[in-house]
Amino acid sequence: MTTEPSDSRDLPTNTTRRSWLEMFVAMLLAIPVLGPALLAAWVVIRPGKRADPIEVMALPLAEIPSDGVRTFRVQYRRQHGAFVEDVERVVYLRRKGNNVIALSAECTHLGCNVHFDAANKKFACPCHKGTFDLDGAVLGGPPPAQLRRLKAIVPTDAAAPVRLEI
Amino acid sequence: MGWLESRLGLGEILRKTATGKITPRSTGWLHTLGYAALSVLLLQGISGVALAFFYVPAADHAYDSIRFLERDVAQGKLLRALHHWGASVMVVLVALHALRVFFQGGYKAPRELTWLAGLGLLGVTLGFAFTGYLLPWDQKAYFATKVGVNIAGQTPAIGEHLQGVLYGGAGIGPQTLNRFFALHVLVLPAALIGLLVLHLYLIQRHGIAPTRTRTDDAGEPGKPYHPYHTLKEALVAILAVGLVFFLAWRVGAGLEAEADPADLDYDPRPDWYFYAPFQLLKLFKGENEVIGAFWIPAGLGALLALLPFLDRNKERVARKRPIAVACGILFALATIGLTVVGMTDRPTHFATPPHPLGATKQLREGYDLVRRGRCFSCHQVVIDGVTYGQLGEHDEAPPLQETEYEPEDLADFLEDTGMDNMPSFPLFSAAQRLAIGRYLQALRR
Ligand code: FES
């Protein structure tokens, strides 16, 4: 004998079948909502394409100091969503022998612009007081990594500008 | 009236569900905070809709549309300031309301879901505050959003992807504004309405929790909800909305220079209600960053959500729940402490002068150029008795308000200064240099 509640006798014998049917129909009702919702979610959260690196002209080697940094504003055009955006970002240039160290001003912590403290020869971030040395290595504060280095291509012709890869 | 009532039956529903209910005796002034928050929420909704009639949600026009609203629309400034201060007051009221419920044990059975829905509403409130930031597309908007989204990017596993979704591209850019606009005016309001309906329905289903007894039945009945408690609610709500109006009228809402990612003189700070997490971030260095950015906030959120299930003590009176109350006080003190430290923490960087809002286009351009030229890195300037900028290595650089050049002469001088310490600006156009001259001339007055 089963131990079902006593009033189950009054119900039709196919209750399980019926509740399955109810559930199935409820699911059918949800389809018109779920379909568009899934599509919308997919369109919105799908990862975007990676952008190709862009080459921009900076300064000739002669204009880049070796004992300090030269603030340079790179300008380029990029696609951001539906917009074509003229971007301007700050890069710090320093000459090291025949090479150029190009550091992005964007703090590796949360992305504020670091500024150059000429008196102490280091970079300081105004947001959470992160500091970096001339090569971009972390000196103190919360930043987890050194300042991002851009690839700098130094031309053989000394008067031609150094090119940076963004 | 009778005709309408016989068809709609609204009065009957109200009498059965809200106005006719008897509240427990322990219901007092502290129980009015939820309604006050709801009133400010309505204020936010109404002022938000009005703002949307002017606002252009595209990065190339957003800032201009706000400036137009502020300068050329009668009471436009007040409207925006209302929405700005409404957000602050809303955050305070929702937080106080949550604290009240916490200390009076209002989250205990059978009101666990009411607490959860309320917590969701707190999250939505903060979400509104955060997404609303970016919309004016000024400096504060740009940098605060960048910091905020980078925090979201610390989320383990999905962080980077989440960042991409919020930004709508590689890094912050014009598309980001549209994403935040959609979140602010479509997604969050929908979430808000759902949670609010659930919250209010549950409050009506379970009634107000008596605060002095363990169970609901033992609570001594007090007076009918309406008009006794509603009177208190109305008074507090009027006070809250009045406060928003007062702040909007006296203090107003700031608008900084238009967003410029290449501005080195900018020291980003969030609004005061985000100081605590902002300060928390400074405490964790290097690899540990993720602790302050993700684990502590996430752990806290989870703890709050599980609170009614973890805390099995049936007592509601604070004296009889020492552990819960101690934790609550500790949390409140930590938040207040961090906020105060965040407020007093001097930035490592110097302050820049305020934007000459409402001045002529030329003066505003001059101001932007002076900042782009990094003049404040070596020159100081005193405006209305406040000193801005810093002295660089060459501390003989004269304060900017003392420049004696006429605008035209200064424009010539800037083209080629012929000085070692003072850079020349041949790349600025003649009109741009003249704008700088005019701005400096205006500083002299
Ligand atoms: S963003 Fe630079 S220290 Fe945080």
Q: What is the ipTM of this complex?
A: 0.77
How many Å apart are CA A136 and CA A65, to the nearest integer?
16
Same domain? A67 vs A29: no
Which residues of chain B neighbour A141 with C-beta distances below 8 Å?
Answer: 282, 285
The DSSP 8-state label assigned to residue B74 in this structure reads: T
How many Å apart are CA B337 and CA B332, to the nearest integer?
8
| The CATH number of domain B2-344, selected from 3.60.21.10, 1.10.10.10, 1.20.810.10, 3.40.366.10 | 1.20.810.10
Q: What is the domain count for chain A?
A: 2
Which residues of chain B neighbour A51 with C-beta distances below 8 Å?
Answer: 170
Which residues of chain B neighbour A128 with C-beta distances below 8 Å?
Answer: 278, 281-282
How many Å apart are CA B257 and CA B58, to the nearest integer?
17
B57 touches chain A (CB under 8 A): no
SS3 (DSSP) at A151: strand
Topology adopted by domain B361-444: Cytochrome Bc1 Complex; Chain D, domain 2 (1.10.760)
Same domain? A30 vs A98: no
Type of residue at A124: A
Partner-chain contact A110 B150, CB within 8 Å: yes
In a domain, A6, yes or no: no
* Domain range summary for chain B, segments of one domain joined by +: 2-344, 361-444
* Closest ligand 1 atom to Cα of A125: 2
DSSP-H helix ranges across B53-111: 62-72, 76-103
Among the partner residues A79, A88, A115, nearest to B261 by beta-carbon distance: A88
Nearest to A105 by CA among A121, A87, A124: A124
3-state DSSP percent of chain A in helix, strand and coil, to 5: 25, 35, 40
CA quadruple B335, B338, B341, B343: dihedral sign = negative
How many Å apart are CA A91 and CA A152, to the nearest integer?
11
Domain with A37, as residue range(s), is: 13-45
Instruction: For chain B, give the number of residues.
Output: 445
Measured in angstroms, the CA of B200 and the nearest CA of chain A are apart by 26
Annotate A82-113 with DSSP letters as a single string: TEEEEEEEEEEEEEETTEEEEEESB-TTT-PB
Q: Tell me if A154 sits within 8 A of A102, measured CB to CB.
A: no
The DSSP 8-state label assigned to residue B19 in this structure reads: T
How many Å apart are CA B369 and CA B375, to the nearest integer?
9
Residue with tokens 């079948």: A17
Q: In sequence order, what are the beta bridge partners of B258? A: B138
Q: Mutate which of A125, A131, A139, A147 to test ligand 1's pocket (most atoms within 8 Å of Cβ)? A: A125
Q: Would you call A16 exposed, middle or buried from its count of C-beta atoms within 10 A (0-12, 13-18, 19+)?
A: exposed
Q: Tell me if B79 sits within 8 A of B276, measured CB to CB.
A: no
3-state DSSP percent of chain B in helix, strand and coil, to 5: 65, 5, 30
H or E element: which one contains A164? strand A161-165
Q: Tell me if B415 sits within 8 A of B425, measured CB to CB.
A: yes
How many Å apart are CA B62 and CA B118, to the nearest integer?
33
pTM for the full predicted model: 0.80
How many Å apart are CA B166 and CA B153, to the nearest integer?
10
Q: Tell me if B341 sits within 8 A of B334, measured CB to CB.
A: no
pLDDT tens across the length of chain B (445 residues): 789 889 998 888 888 877 778 888 888 899 999 999 999 999 999 999 999 999 999 988 999 999 899 989 999 999 999 999 999 999 999 999 999 999 998 898 889 999 999 999 999 999 999 999 899 998 888 888 888 888 888 888 888 889 889 988 888 889 999 999 999 999 999 999 999 999 999 998 888 888 887 777 766 778 888 888 899 999 999 999 999 999 999 988 888 878 888 776 677 777 788 888 878 877 887 778 788 888 999 999 999 999 999 988 888 888 888 888 999 999 999 999 998 888 776 554 556 677 776 677 888 888 878 877 777 767 878 777 777 766 655 567 788 888 788 888 888 888 888 777 777 777 788 888 888 888 888 887 6
Same domain? A155 vs A85: yes
H or E element: which one contains B306? helix B296-310
How many Å apart are CA A120 and CA B393, to the nearest integer?
10
Partner-chain contact B348 A129, CB within 8 Å: yes
Same domain? A75 vs A132: yes
Measured in angstroms, the CA of B336 and the nearest CA of chain A are apart by 19
Report the CATH number that the domain containing residue A139 is assigned in CATH. Answer: 2.102.10.10
Give how far Cα A148 sits from Cα of A50, A109, A151, A165, Å: 18, 11, 10, 12
Instruction: For chain A, give the number of residues.
Output: 166
Q: Mutate which of A103, A104, A106, A109 to test ligand 1's pocket (most atoms within 8 Å of Cβ)? A: A109
In a domain, A4, yes or no: no
Partner-chain contact B286 A45, CB within 8 Å: no
Distinct helix (H) and strand (E) counts, chain A: 1, 10
Same domain? A30 vs A71: no
